[in-house]
Amino acid sequence: MQAKRLHPAALLYFWYQSLKSGLLYFFILLAFNFNEKFTGYFWLALFAVLLLTVVGGILKYLRYSYELAAQEIILHSGIIFPKHLHISYAKIQTLQTKQWFYLRPFGLLSLQIETSSQAADEPEAVLPVISRAVVTQIQAKRDAVLKNDRQTEIFFPDRDNEVGHIPASSEFSYQIKGHDLNLYALTSLGFLPLMLGFLAIYNRLSDVIPQKYINAAVKTLENRSGVVLSLLAIVVVLLALGFSYLVVINRYFHFEVHPEGKQLVTSKGLLQQNIVTASQEKIQAVVISQSFLRQALKLATVQLVLASQAADEEQDDQLVLLPVLSQGLALKNASRLVKWLPQKIPRLPVGRRFERWKIIRNILLPTILLVVIIGVFFQPYGWLSVVLLPFAFWIGYYASVNNRLALTNADVLLAQNGHLLTRKLYLIPRGKIQAMSMQQTVLMARAKLSHLKIILRSGNEKQVVQVRYLPKMEVEEIYRWYRHK
């Protein structure tokens, strides 16, 4: 088959990549001309860098081509040293498309291909700018190869399990409503790191802005009333809230998920539409997540832990399956998309008081030490840090009451923990657990307590799920259940 080139619009992509590389040389030129006049040699060198950027982008485009063979995709690239990458359709795990708003009128998008053999966090291959017809062709070839392989392995295949056939019970799709999207954005805690980011920017600016201007600004604020300063703080909080709201709206606009055979397809995005096609066999665990705010409103988010890089841009590297829905409907709707999920889960046992106290103690003691250090070295205002103590107690108490473990009748382990005021319930099938370990100190052994650490595969790395200070007999029961799989 004759090799094909990318769409001419891919030139913009290669120019952008070359420009990022050329910026390094530009900063080197600035470093050599620091505090000096820009001579003719500087402008000549700058012109050479720009010329190499433009020519390099054109050469990369001309040298990049692809072939869609019967059993594999072949990618050709390289200006000086030619590279030829062969990707078997059978090895493709995830197809992810990204489409910026300015490419939509032309029906163009970017395709990322992830395989089972890649070792890095980057996708195995990227087709920067191609038409949707090419993506459809690749999907059809991949599905055909998988279907043939499955029929070879199974002499009498079950038609309900064939790739490409969607059972009637699986015909469930979810599309987020405008009200739910607004609720999801308004209950996001993303504004907290944004406020810390504003403080970091202020610290950076204070290092750059001349001291006389900073002193003048401080003097002006000192003459203002407390009301003005309070209004200024409110403005900063509102800016963080507004920016966080817009980020969530942009990311999950028109969110939709539906099954296609043995795949789950999610699509979302306003400025950049992101479509992920992930195999259900790569689902390692289902996570029902609730921040303390969403927990109070009885809302939940369902996420997936995948053995692929499809969720590397998501929060906690977990693919969002259902962004926001009622707490009571979370498991019911998720089980219509992920078939091994139980319809109901047993009531999780509540830890005893002394078990919960150990978790609270582990957070309170370091906080008390920190408050004492700040108070001693930054008197007298350092003692204001004592306000951290009730906050630390709250975090510890929240973690202690959400620290639970249980088994279902469907060979699914339930592990729940609370971290930084966010509760996460992991539903883990036994066959997806990579490793499990019991851990205890000497003091824990005397109290007949133990930690349980569960290792899952997440992308190309591992994810650790830990439930702490559980009765030793309960942990041993789970451990025996795992060993007899």
Whether 52 and 60 have beta carbons less than 8 Å apart is answered as no
69: domain CATH number is: 2.30.29
What mean pLDDT value characterizes the chain?
A: 84
Q: Which H, E and C letters describe 412-455, residue by residue?
A: EEEEEEEECCEEEEEEEEHHHCCEEEEECCHHHHHCCEEEEEEE
Query: If pLDDT is split at 50, 70 and 90, which confidence band does 152 have?
Result: very low
Residue 414 corresponds to which tokens in the numbers above?
Answer: 């339930």
- The β-bridge partners of 277 are 95, 265
Same domain, 378 and 326: no
Q: Let me know if residue 26 belongs to a domain.
A: yes
Same domain, 60 and 190: no
For residue 380, whether the previous peptide bond is cis, meaning omega lies within 30 degrees of 0, is: yes
| pLDDT tens sequence across 11-62 | 999 998 888 877 777 777 666 665 555 566 767 777 888 888 889 899 999 9
Same domain, 313 and 441: yes
Residue 235 lies in domain: 182-252
Q: Which residue has the tokens 């966010």?
A: 422
Same domain, 212 and 261: no
* φ, ψ of residue 267 in degrees (nearest 5): -135, 145
Same domain, 267 and 415: yes
Q: Let me know if residue 222 belongs to a domain.
A: yes
Q: Let me know if residue 167 belongs to a domain.
A: no
Same domain, 23 and 108: yes
* Residue 30 confidence (pLDDT): 67
Same domain, 302 and 449: yes
Whether 418 and 289 have beta carbons less than 8 Å apart is answered as no
Q: Rounded to a whole number, what is the distance in angstroms from the first to the last CA of the chain?
A: 48
Q: Let me know if residue 275 belongs to a domain.
A: yes
Same domain, 136 and 47: yes
Q: Let me know if residue 175 belongs to a domain.
A: no
Q: What is the pTM of this model?
A: 0.82
Q: What is the DSSP letter of 39?
A: -
* Residue 167 confidence (pLDDT): 41
Same domain, 328 and 435: yes
Same domain, 327 and 203: no
Same domain, 36 and 12: yes
Share of the chain above pLDDT 70, in %: 82
* Residue 223 confidence (pLDDT): 62
* Residue 157 confidence (pLDDT): 39
Q: Let me know if residue 246 belongs to a domain.
A: yes
| pLDDT tens sequence across 246-305 | 999 999 999 999 998 888 999 999 999 999 988 888 899 999 999 999 999 999 999 999
Residue 413 corresponds to which tokens in the numbers above?
Answer: 């382990």
Q: Total structural domains in the chain?
A: 4
Same domain, 26 and 113: yes
Rounded to whole angstroms, what are the CA distances from 174 to 188, 192, 256, 259, 322?
Answer: 21, 29, 6, 10, 8
